[in-house]
Homo-oligomer: A and B are copies of this chain.
Amino acid sequence: MRVGILGSGLMGGTLGTLFARAGHEVVFSYAHSTDKLKKLARDAKGKARPGTPREAAQEADAVLLAVHWSRIDDVLKQAGDLSGKVILTCCLPMDEGNTKLIIGTTTSGAEELAKKVPRAHVVLAFNTIPSEVLFGVFEARKNSSRPSLVLCGDEPRAKDVAAELIRDVGFDPVDVGPLRIARYTEPFALLVGELAYGGKGGPELAYRFERFGR
């Protein structure tokens, strides 16, 4: 699969690296510097290269959107036409200081994003785990019990693409329904963040849904 990374910070940089190690063709774009993109591509050790947002997006089978909420309009403008594209977003609608969600309950970041790119297929995924846990989960991917990762979206084919990438990095994809379920998974992401960054156990946190029959 060709995966374009829009936003090569902690989350985008780490996921792009793991997608490349899982055998996908990755274009890293939109970081603070071109050097950062070059280094990411070099260190990924797979079919990875640096590029512009437009280069990352235009040939991609899936685009990962991983920028701060305040940069979405800018990166979308640079990426060009995204009609028909599968967009995996892990962006959370946070204020500038990253202290709180600025929308929720009656809508969500993912739904507002979908309105900006009505001809793309938006899937919310990778938003509910800290970037710090990704390498550990990837390296443990042969274990029998994988952590869960929730995704939601309105387009089944796009969700299949998301589920494949989620599996490739070591998680068990859990489809929680249409894109409006983002109203629940975005606050859940903040809950995981509280536990990862606010507690004593360190940020390498994941979660798993399990059934307990009587």
A binding-site residues for B, Cβ under 8 Å: 101, 103-105, 133, 135-137, 139-140, 147-148, 150, 174, 176-177, 181, 183-188, 190-192, 194-195, 198, 201-202, 204-214
Within the complex, what minimum Cβ distance (angstroms) separates A132 from chain B?
9
| With A105-B103, A187-B188, A191-B188 as contacts: A211 and B202 at CB distance below 8 Å | yes
The one of B105, B147, B204 in contact with A105, judged by C-beta atoms closer than 8 angstroms, is: B105
Copy total for this chain: 2
- Docked-complex contact A194 and B204, CB < 8 angstroms: no
- Docked-complex contact B174 and A140, CB < 8 angstroms: no
- Docked-complex contact B212 and A210, CB < 8 angstroms: no
- Docked-complex contact A212 and B140, CB < 8 angstroms: yes
A188 to B187, CA, bound (A): 7
The one of B103, B147, B211 in contact with A212, judged by C-beta atoms closer than 8 angstroms, is: B147
Within the complex, what minimum Cβ distance (angstroms) separates A201 from chain B?
6
**In the complex, chain B residues whose CB is within 8 Å of the CB of A206:** 209-212
Within the complex, what minimum Cβ distance (angstroms) separates A200 from chain B?
11
Within the complex, what minimum Cβ distance (angstroms) separates A38 from chain B?
24
Within the complex, what minimum Cβ distance (angstroms) separates A24 from chain B?
21
- Docked-complex contact B191 and A176, CB < 8 angstroms: yes
